[in-house]
Amino acid sequence: MPWSVQPIGQVTEVGTVHDLIETKGRHGALSSDLDRRIVDAAAAYMADEDNGIGFVYSGWAQAALPHRRLKDDQAWQINSDKVKLLLEPGRRASDDGEPVWVGVPYGSRARLIMLYLQTEALRTNSREIELGKSLRDWLTRLGIPIGGKSLRDVREQAERISRCRLSFHVQSAGRAGLVNQNIVDAAMFVDAADSGQGTLFLETARLSETFYEQLRKHPVPLEEAAIRAINNNSMALDLYCWLAYRLHVLTAPRPVTWKALMGQFGTAYKEQFHFKPRFLENLHLALAVYRDAKVDVDERGLILRPSRPPVAPKQGGSSLRSA
């Protein structure tokens, strides 16, 4: 079996979802005891013939953005086994002379915008990124309709990304990664009243030099088909990126405790018994779009096993070379 997840207290092996879809089809798989969301995600991924590739900096695969909105003046810190991320909100000048806190980026839309910025930077081999129609087209390709509330959400998250500052502290051998860096060095904002209908508030951006160089040195290739199938679920997106980063470099099984998992993915939860069910739901969704991932669950946490990456090295490398 390509991957296996045996949730605590459940008999059904979710790892059979791909086999069920292949042998019985989506409707046949839905007649089993599997969660409909897992079947739908796996079926959408398996039926997707688009072989597009996206990229994220490896730091984001180890420490991600918040899932929900924080207070506008609140910073965000998250710790994984090797990385600490500190994300600080930016401020916007106001007419009354009192700067306004913008807040840190959060949720699935912010993650998709970040994925676009990083993918475009590597594709074009440039820190200068065109947004506006280009970002709108890309989000549409990922299944995100751009209009109404969705457009407002994208505008808001784009501004939050452009104004925030981050620190990636690498805890290996006492080294620090990105310290006090903006993700975006410069951005051009278009007055919504003057912009054309359907355009995005943020039109152009330039990634900071330090962030861009780290991205070039440490990119993690991802399948756009996988992102598309789980595009509205921020934790599932984080888990997919994390597994894409971790599994293919393993040479032996690696246990990860519930405490470590909660520290990285469940900082919003006070108790593990609240965190575990939510985590497992999203783990199943991530594995539904990463068929070659080998992960086991037990009472102590996860056991990660060496697995093929979601994007073959030559495929990812060719994408970088052609950028």
- pLDDT tens sequence across 31-90: 887 889 999 999 999 999 988 999 999 999 999 999 999 999 999 999 887 788 999 999
Give the H/E segment covering residue 57. strand 53-57
What does the pLDDT read at residue 2? Answer: 44
The answer to whether 185 and 208 are in contact (CB under 8 A) is: yes
Residues 248-277: tens digit of each pLDDT: 999 999 999 999 999 999 988 889 889 999
Which of 87, 228, 219, 268 minimizes the C-alpha distance to 161?
Answer: 87
pLDDT at 179 over 60: no
C-alpha to C-alpha distance for 284 and 85, rounded to whole angstroms:
26
Q: Which residues pair with 76 in a beta bridge?
A: 87
pLDDT at 119 over 90: yes
What does the pLDDT read at residue 158? Answer: 87
Using the CB atoms, write b or e for 154-187: b if 16+ within 10 Å: bbbbbbbbbbbbbbbbeeeeeeebbeebbbbbeb
What does the pLDDT read at residue 1? Answer: 41
Which has more pLDDT, 137 or 41?
Answer: 41
DSSP 141-201: HTT---STHHHHHHHHHHHHHHH-EEEEEE-GGG-----SEESEEEEEE--TTTSPTT--S
Q: Kindly list the strands in the beta sheet with 128-130, ordered across the sheet, starting from the edge strand earlier in the chain.
A: 128-130, 202-207, 184-189
Instruction: Give me the percent of the chain exceeding a pLDDT of 90.
Output: 54
Average confidence (pLDDT) over 197-214: 77
What is the SS3 assignment for 307? coil
Which of 109, 108, 114 minimizes the C-alpha distance to 156?
Answer: 109
What does the pLDDT read at residue 297? Answer: 93
Average confidence (pLDDT) over 4-26: 63
CA 140, distance to chain mean position in Å, is: 17
pLDDT at 177 over 70: no
Which of 246, 292, 188 minimizes the C-alpha distance to 62?
Answer: 246
What does the pLDDT read at residue 141? Answer: 84
Mean of the per-residue pLDDT values of the chain: 85
Residues 43-48: contacts with CB under 8 Å, at least 24 apart: 44/228, 44/229, 45/225, 45/226, 45/228, 45/229, 45/288, 45/289, 45/291, 46/18, 46/21, 46/22, 46/291, 48/225, 48/228, 48/229
What does the pLDDT read at residue 322? Answer: 34
Say what the pTM is.
Answer: 0.88
Residue 193: pLDDT band by 50, 70, 90 thresholds?
very low
Q: CB neighbours (10 Å) of residue 268?
A: 14
Q: Which residue has the tokens 């993650």?
A: 111
What does the pLDDT read at residue 260? Answer: 93
Q: CB neighbours (10 Å) of residue 148?
A: 8
Residues 280-319: tens digit of each pLDDT: 999 999 999 999 999 999 999 999 999 999 998 866 654 4
